[in-house]
Chain A
């Protein structure tokens, strides 16, 4: 049976070059980077090379990259590790963040911080004016993601940046964290240009290995570690470095940097084909999130969230799977919790649309023929299920 993997926002197939690098590192660079002898030095160099590659892909200095065990850990380090300073009591985030951000903010609330959760409009976009209104003298952290993982809304970072810079311009300290886990490798982003202080990325969402993520922290950002120990990663993340994982991440980052310009248009063309195809072939199907148009800045090139009213997303997921098409009902990490996405609810979608939502997420490894197949299968499966449950 043909297999079409369209769940690339959950995780991606590692590039063959990545697999090779991970295996080679396990075999050849097995030393502990902290060791002084040759095996240690070799492993240390492998980590340093990967750090350069990740830094290059973001247009930052290698000394500002902290490797972590996952994207979620990077986010936790950013949100909970940031020191609020004497006046800091207030944090602003949005209703459509990944659970790692929302739950880390929940922890801050337990520590006595006040959290403002910005709403989104019906396509999942934050209004920068809401941010302006929410900022207070004691706000020390704003955490707004780049690309939403469920509906692919691209937040207006340039406008948000302007609001933040204006607030800072009045001599106030304010730190900005961006969860770029879904945007990384798809949309070019240079954190220093926008005044982003902290930015989280994950390797396994960009055809790298699982078990490794990274946090960019601008120079001078007051961070404290969450994990204490041997003082690796400039004292910000203790624990023996995951050398093979980091080496694999480095290779994936190198590919990102090399293909930066072609990736987004290529993904967008595939997404457009998929969305147009499904909306044309399936009566009643609705695209959730920003419109799929090249001139729509809120449209992420790789994520299409589509509702099939009258059907349950999970049922559709398994039916599609039966034909070799792999999708998800929302973010992978909420798949096992209560049904119904917090993102779609925040957008104010009707219950029927929330229940019938399916997320297709595309990678550059997908082909136009695969998209055609996915459209055909989706149309067929929806038709059959509707007959069945009619």
Chain B
């Protein structure tokens, strides 16, 4: 059977070039970078080279990069570290309703510790309004965290404008760039952000490694883990050397190939979106029609339950998802779709197709071959009232974000 992986926003396979470099540091150059001897120095040298690569890929300086275990830790570290250190200046922090749970749940945890949390609404495309942000900032605001591009609907936020506004008001700005990295240009100076999170396994690098960019001069301090003096006292724990080397190589390759690969993927994406909307009735594109990631297509199918759609696709060899991977299996519909004003029943029929290096035109054709009959079959069985009007409400269910996502 044909196998098609359409879930590159959940995770990506490790590129052979990346795996090859990691292998050397798994097997022979296994030293602890803190060790003073040869094995340690070899590991340290490779670690610093990887730091340079990661820094170069986002236009940062090497000393502004802190390696850690992944995107989630990056988000936690960034938010916690700024919020806690600036408590003497204020206790108000701002985010949006469509963030990843790594951000939302960190804000919620801080909310319980006495911080005032503002969760900005989004419009029907999942876009945060600059006016809303501007109105939310008070003299107690110390941090804004808005994601660069949505993992669930692919919408790209106007980070540059928002970060400029934050700077003007003296507020630190963090962006979760886990999904945008490698798909659209990510440059810390262009964006004007103070902190930025990336993850290895979303860009054909390994799992278990990520990086946080912290602009020099940002009032930020590690507040999650304490221990050894690794990462200049900014992140304790023996460095995941092979993982970090993999991340460095993955970042390097992602930037090198960004332009060509993004153009190619955008072509495939547009073909997919057009085909789906033209050929399958009662279907809507979710997220912004144009300001979206080049590899990202997401839809809601009326009168269908997303999970059965995914399982049917899986049986045909196609791996897709309903939204973010970590909410898979949860019975609640996506907090992102709800925040966009999409009604519950419709949000249940969501599907996300995220393309990657291994996908081709034929994969899209194959999808279009198997998907319409699946939709037809599921709709025939559906108990959902087909008389229901499809309404896109522009008003937002501000904070219906689920408290946590149980698998």
Contacts and interface: CB of A to CB of B under 8 A. Distances in A.
A67 to B, nearest CB: 10
Contacts of B325: 32, 34-35, 40, 230, 240
A81 to B, nearest CB: 11
Nearest to B321: A35
B208 A27 contact: no
A387 B356 CA distance: 64
A75 B206 CA distance: 24
Contact of B406 (A35, A71, A231): A231
A228 interface: yes
A242 B68 CA distance: 12
B38 interface: yes
B38 A241 contact: no
Contacts of B26: 14, 18-19, 22-23, 209
A239 B72 contact: yes
A248 to B, nearest CB: 8
A146 interface: no
Contacts of A202: 238
Contact of A19 (B23, B72, B237, B238): B23
A328 to B, nearest CB: 6
A69 interface: yes
Contacts of A100: 225-228, 236-237
B224 A317 contact: no
A375 B311 CA distance: 63
A198 B26 CA distance: 29
Nearest to B30: A13
25 contacts: A11-B238, A32-B10, A34-B10, A36-B307, A36-B310, A36-B311, A36-B328, A37-B310, A37-B319, A40-B10, A72-B225, A76-B236, A99-B236, A100-B236, A210-B240, A230-B324, A238-B72, A239-B72, A240-B326, A241-B207, A244-B14, A245-B208, A321-B38, A333-B227, A335-B34
A226 B81 CA distance: 12
Interface string B67-91: 0111111011000000000000000
B237 A72 contact: yes
B407 A232 contact: yes
Contacts of A329: 36
Interface residues of B, number: 78
Contacts, number: 284
A311 interface: no
A195 interface: no
Contacts of A12: 30
Given A70-B237, A230-B101, A240-B70, 5 more contacts: A27-B14, A36-B307, A39-B5, A230-B102, A239-B71
B73 to A, nearest CB: 6
A69 B73 contact: yes
A229 interface: yes
B240 A35 contact: no
B11 interface: yes
A327 B319 CA distance: 49
A73 B69 contact: yes
Interface stretch (A82-90, A101-109, A154-162): A101-109
A318 interface: yes
B175 interface: no
A22 B318 CA distance: 25
Interface string A266-284: 0000000000000000000
A26 B72 contact: no
B187 interface: no
A5 interface: yes
A212 B7 contact: no
A240 B229 contact: no
Chain A CB count within 10 A is highest, among B228, B311, B321, for: B228
Interface stretch (B103-111, B139-147, B273-281, B384-392): B103-111
Interface in A322-368: 326-329, 331-337
A134 interface: no
A30 B12 contact: yes
Contacts of A240: 11, 70-72, 199, 201, 207, 325-326
A65 B228 CA distance: 24
A309 interface: no
Interface of B: 5, 7, 10-14, 19, 22-23, 26-27, 30-32, 34-40, 68-73, 75-76, 100-102, 105-106, 108-109, 199, 201, 206-209, 224-230, 236-243, 307, 310-311, 313-314, 318-322, 324-329, 404-407
A244 B208 contact: yes
Nearest to A76: B225
Contacts of B34: 10, 332-333, 335-336
A209 B39 contact: no
Contact of B102 (A209, A228, A244, A331): A228
A26 B11 contact: no
B35 A328 contact: yes
A314 interface: yes
Nearest to A212: B208
Nearest first, the 3 closest Cβ-Cβ pairs linking A and B are A242-B208, A333-B228, A211-B240
Contacts of A290: none
B108 A228 contact: yes
A10 B35 contact: yes
A210 B101 contact: no
Interface in A72-128: 72-73, 75-76, 98-100, 103-104, 106-107
Contacts of A328: 35-37
Contacts of A336: 34, 229
Contacts of A212: 208, 240
B306 to A, nearest CB: 10
Contact of B206 (A11, A26, A37, A73): A26
Contacts of A185: none
Contact of B100 (A16, A229, A235, A244): A229
